[in-house]
């Protein structure tokens, strides 16, 4: 069964954030988004806006399309 796209996006965001060694708080500061909002995105509870995808990509120094890729295989079992 395919993951909900919001959950899949959240898992990929966590993967990239942790690869950089950043906390949610750091990502919030770098992107200009609220930490509580990012927590909801990472848990797959929020339907993220396109503009916010671009803000996150810029902060993380990746192309926006990278955030839409499938998370690493081990991540798929998470929430």
Q: What is the pLDDT of residues 46-74, one digit of tens each?
A: 999 999 999 999 999 999 999 999 999 76
Number of Cβ atoms within 10 Å of the Cβ of 9: 23
Those residues whose C-beta lies under 8 Å from the C-beta of residue 19, and which sit 6 or more positions away, are none
Q: Which CATH number among 1.10.260.40, 3.30.40.230, 3.90.226.10, 2.60.40.10 corresponds to the domain 5-72?
A: 1.10.260.40
For residue 2, give the DSSP letter. P
Q: Is the pTM of this model over 0.75?
A: yes
Q: How high is the pLDDT of residue 2?
A: 78
């Amino acid at each position: 069964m395919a993951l909900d796209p919001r959950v899949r996006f959240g898992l990929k965001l966590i993967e990239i954030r942790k690869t950089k060694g950043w906390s949610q708080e750091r990502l919030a500061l770098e992107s200009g988004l609220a930490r509580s909002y990012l927590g909801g995105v990472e848990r797959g509870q929020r339907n993220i806006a396109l503009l916010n995808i671009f803000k996150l990509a810029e902060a993380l120094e990746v192309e926006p399309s990278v955030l839409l890729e499938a998370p690493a295989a081990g991540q798929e079992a998470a929430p």
